[in-house]
Chain A
Amino acid sequence: MMPALEARDLTYELGGRALVDGIDLAIGKGRFTVIVGPNGAGKSTLLRLLCGELAPTRGEVAVGGQSLRRIGAWRLAHMRAVMPQAAELNFPFLVSEVVSLGVDGIGRGLTRADRAGLVRQALDRADVAHLAARYYQTLSGGERQRVHFARVVAQLAAGRSVESQQILFLDEPIASLDLRHQLAVIEEAKALAGAGVTVVAVLHDLLLAASASDDLVLLRAGRLVARGPAEDVLTHARLAEVFGVALTSPVLPTQPWAAIPAAGGSAQRL
């Protein structure tokens, strides 16, 4: 089967230095892939290359077998959504309006009621429905991240009627979240993957990455070190070599946290 997302000899140079260096990668449809690596390994740069935000110096990215260069921004927006690390908003938008941005453009073919429905669902899925009438600027960093998660979920939902193969890119989506919401966002991403959406995320938390992902992509200094299931990638030798840490147990420990199903409502979904 054709990979949903493919990189060939992907290289990005800035000021004569290769931030991403000759990466070959193929990611299957519906897989949850997490990019890991120490600081400065090129994780975010790789993600920005894969989603089309940066144009590679060399090599190319293909989505569904088609070169990214030949896909316009408009069509691409139906095929993939990108959740940024942080997005500053200098204008007093309401939370519901920020989420609507995900469907205002590419959801133009839908009815107004349909768009409103998608926004409502996305607000629920990211557990921010209670914030809908708040100003985005008054939210905490974690709440903002959840709002953007809702926005990309809404964008995917709006694009689904046009493009069946979709990719979700997440750049450190849980960096500012409390534990419960970290788990919740990861669960939602896994659920999307289960529904056939290819998910590519950058995560810092190795344990969470290991437990959540189908595949890990380990980077160091812009190069691909290893890829595959977590237990194959995060070996003692590699952890020592790449991260400079040693495991205190013979095998990779499992994620110690689990979400407690709450009494009802939206919290249960998360």
Chain B
Amino acid sequence: MKAASPAHAGLQGLRTRPLDQRVPIVLGGLALLLVAVSLVSLGLGAVGIPVGRVIDALASAFPGAPAAPPGDALVVLQVRLPRLLLGLLVGAGLAVSGTLMQGLFRNPLADPAIVGVSTGAALAAAVVIVMGPRWFGAVPFLALPVGAFCGCLIATLFLYLIATRDGRTSIATMLLGGVAFGALAWAFMGFLSYLSNDQQLRDLNFWSMGSLSGSTWAKTAAVAPFILPAMALMPFLARGLNALSLGEAEAFHLGLPVQRVKAAAILLVAVMVGASVAAAGIIGFVGIIVPHTLRVLTGADHRLLLPASALLGGALLVGADSFARTVVAPAEMPIGILTAIIGAPFFLWLLLGRQRGIGA
């Protein structure tokens, strides 16, 4: 145990409060953080626009408000705002997916990428990029997002089917199946990259790094109908995931419809990861960093953990993106690289911590 610094004691104090006292403190704090990060993100960018003019530009979107300079309005309303919203959706979706997945597998190291869900989406997208021109003459509009989503669902259903016997899902089989599926998918990706031409190869490469560059209102509008309903449904799984963390048998003893909860969690993960991967490529580690940090700070109860994951996930991705697009401006850094730089050491630290037995 660490020495009880005042901050540590404060956190411990928060941690041991009853849930109904913790919820408003934690969610309120995270909501404030999210708003602050969002405002900074709207205010920052390669185009330097003073804060006052950012506000004017935002206001100009409302009827009756005075028009802002067209340049300001364009950058704020057409470039930064859709990117901010897409970042919030994707960040929240990935973080909540990670939380659901970890609850489902009762393992804080589980991640959509580990059980092959992201890989399925990536493979489907690779198929679209490489085979699209051969089959359709060009990559059809929306084929990439739809493909990624379908790949995600197929991967998840496939895993669910091979791991389920007599209506019970074996977590071990599913994890192993995920590893096998991932290997298979990467082999197919290798085959596809063999088939692809120079440009397709670069597209694949760029896409697998993940980026929020090229966010448009259309993209945001395409992703929102997947992620928002999933967010609305997620609270119904919280109690179930809590019980499930004791084990499937124990959850059943506590009266949980275990199979239904698992199926619902898998479906929500597929929907959110598919939509996220389709919109922004593969952005790793958000699903690990966010839930783990929150469990340590605010507790493992999914009734708080799930909504908090959504808020912190959105804030983390938007913050990382603000950095990625300003640090080398006017060029930008792929955000997937940034999250990996933060996330990979974090993951290792997590593994080492678990080895020493203080895993959370």
Query: Which residues of A come within 8 Å of B, CB atoms?
Result: 48, 51-53, 55, 72-78, 80-82, 84, 87-94, 97-98, 101-102, 104-106, 112, 116, 133, 137, 155
A73-B255, A73-B257, A77-B253 given; 7 more Cβ-contact pairs under 8 Å: A73-B256, A74-B255, A80-B253, A91-B106, A93-B245, A106-B254, A106-B255
Q: Is B107 an interface residue (CB 8 A)?
A: yes
Inter-chain CB contacts under 8 Å: number: 85
CB-based nearest B residue for A72? B257
Which residues of A lie under 8 Å from residue B35 when comparing CB positions? none
Check B243 against A101 for contact (C-beta < 8 Å). Answer: yes
Residue in B20, B246, B256, B299 whose beta carbon sits within 8 Å of that of A94 in the complex: B299
Q: CA separation between A102 and B301, bound complex, in Å?
A: 14
Which residues, 112 to 169 on B, are CB-close (under 8 Å) to A? 166
Which residues of B lie under 8 Å from residue A89 when comparing CB positions? 245-246
A103 to chain B, nearest CB (A): 10
Q: CA separation between A247 and B247, bound complex, in Å?
A: 40
Which residues of A lie under 8 Å from residue B53 when comparing CB positions? none
Which residues of B lie under 8 Å from residue A84 when comparing CB positions? 247, 249-250
Which residues of A lie under 8 Å from residue B360 when comparing CB positions? 91-92, 137
24 contacts between A and B (CB under 8 A): A53-B249, A73-B257, A73-B258, A74-B255, A78-B255, A80-B253, A82-B249, A84-B249, A84-B250, A87-B246, A89-B246, A92-B296, A92-B299, A97-B299, A101-B242, A102-B254, A104-B239, A104-B242, A104-B243, A105-B243, A105-B256, A106-B255, A137-B359, A155-B254
Which residues of B lie under 8 Å from residue A52 when comparing CB positions? 252
B-side binding surface: helix, strand, loop or mixed?
loop
Most buried by A among B16, B166, B249, B254: B254
Which residues of B lie under 8 Å from residue A81 when comparing CB positions? 253
Residue in A51, A73, A101, A133 whose beta carbon sits within 8 Å of that of B246 in the complex: A101
Q: CA separation between A55 and B166, bound complex, in Å?
A: 10
CB-based nearest B residue for A103? B254
Check A76 against B106 for contact (C-beta < 8 Å). Answer: no
Which residues of A lie under 8 Å from residue B249 when comparing CB positions? 48, 53, 82, 84
